[in-house]
Amino acid sequence: MRVSDLQAKDVVSLVDGRKLGRIVDIEIDATGSINYFVVEPRKWFRFWKNGEVNISMKQIKKIGEDVILVEI
C-alpha cells in the first residue's frame, strides 16, 4: 500500500465516531521507520478545529476500504 492510498481515506476515531480528517504527511525517523501520520481536518472545518493531529502506528486499529479507524 502506498501513502497516496492512505491519503484518500477518512481517518475516524473509534472512541466517538468522529471524522478526524485525512492523512496529509508522515514523519519518518533516521532509520526509515514511521513515527506518526499527520492528519489535518477538512478545510471547511479548519476555522473551528485545532490544526493537525499526529497519529502513531499503535493508534491505528484497522485500515479499511474507505476509512482508517484509530483509537485516539
At 50 the pLDDT is: 60
42, pLDDT greater than 80: no
Instruction: Tell me the mean pLDDT in the region 14-31.
Output: 93
Alpha helices in the chain (DSSP H): 3-7
Considering the entire predicted model, what is its pTM? 0.81
Q: Distance (Å, rounded) from C-alpha 34 to C-alpha 31?
A: 9
1, pLDDT greater than 60: yes
Task: Write out the three cell numbers for 16.
Answer: 466517538
Which domains are assigned to the chain?
3-70 (2.30.30.240)
